[in-house]
Amino acid sequence: MIHETLELAALGRRQGTPRCFYHPNQETEVTCGRCGRPLCADCVRHGATGVRCAECLRLPRRARGLATREQILRAAGLALLVALAGGLLLGWLGRPNFLAALALGFAVGSAAFVGSRRHRDATIQGIAGATALVGILVAAVVISLAAPHRSAAQAILAISYDDFILPALAAMAGAIARFFL
């Protein structure tokens, strides 16, 4: 009689015991503190706030150090505005020299940095470098348009790219250097 009672108790315990969400053949008493999934010993992860499953322990993009879509768009928009304004100003003042291009790049990098809410992701740095290059190209177009009797297409084709390689490199370097200061 006692033997039958113990067998029934063991059978009931096996049927009522939760099974691991990821390994259904494993019985467990442990659950994820966030989603409540039952977890076997192989699936338990210890997070800063207790036991978690692998899915709940995954960090959001922001916590992994990656910029969010909103940060990328804000950085690109603000950096593009500064690059266009700076490029127009440099083109109006004349051919940009190394220091002026470096300053433009630093301003564009600062705009991207502030626009991304002070994020230092490589994506934001790349956006800053590319938009600084756009600023130098705008300056080159403005200078070419200043030549008499040229259309916009002729002005773009008439740009002397040799004169703008060093300023372009300086602008990109200034934009990226901003993230390391």
Opening angle at CA 180, ends 175 and 181, nearest 5: 95
Q: Is residue 79 part of a domain?
A: yes
Average pLDDT over residues 118-132: 91
80 and 163 fall within a common domain = yes
Query: pTM for this one?
Result: 0.61
Higher pLDDT, 86 or 14: 86
Q: Is residue 64 part of a domain?
A: no
87 and 174 fall within a common domain = yes
Chain-centre distance of CA 160, in angstroms? 34
pLDDT confidence tier of residue 62, bands split at 50, 70 and 90: low
Q: Is residue 62 part of a domain?
A: no
What are the tens digits of pLDDT across the range 18-52? 899 889 899 999 998 878 889 999 989 887 778 88
114 and 35 fall within a common domain = no
Amino acid 14: pLDDT: 52
The two tokens of residue 149 are 């009797």
Could you tell me if 39 and 28 are in contact, meaning their C-beta atoms sit under 8 angstroms apart? yes
Domain count, the chain: 2
136 and 100 fall within a common domain = yes
Amino acid 169: pLDDT: 92
101 and 158 fall within a common domain = yes
145 and 110 fall within a common domain = yes
What 8-12 contacts at long range (C-beta under 8 Å, 24+ apart), as own/partner pairs, is none
The CA distance from 113 to 78, in Å, is 9
The CA distance from 90 to 179, in Å, is 23
Query: Where is average pLDDT lowest: 42-56, 70-84, 167-181?
Result: 42-56
Question: Domain range spanning residue 48?
Answer: 2-57
50 and 78 fall within a common domain = no
The CA distance from 30 to 92, in Å, is 69
Q: Is residue 63 part of a domain?
A: no
pLDDT confidence tier of residue 181, bands split at 50, 70 and 90: confident
Which helix (H) or strand (E) segment holds residue 46: the answer is: strand 45-47
Closest by CA to 83, choosing from 164, 178, 157, 171, is: 171
The two tokens of residue 171 are 């602008």
130 and 157 fall within a common domain = yes
> Is 13's pLDDT higher than 90?
no
73 and 53 fall within a common domain = no
Amino acid 165: pLDDT: 87
130 and 41 fall within a common domain = no
- Give the residue carrying structure tokens 């804000």: 74
pLDDT confidence tier of residue 61, bands split at 50, 70 and 90: low
87 and 160 fall within a common domain = yes
79 and 45 fall within a common domain = no
- Give the residue carrying structure tokens 């049927």: 15
What are the tens digits of pLDDT across the range 133-162? 999 989 988 887 777 766 767 766 777 777
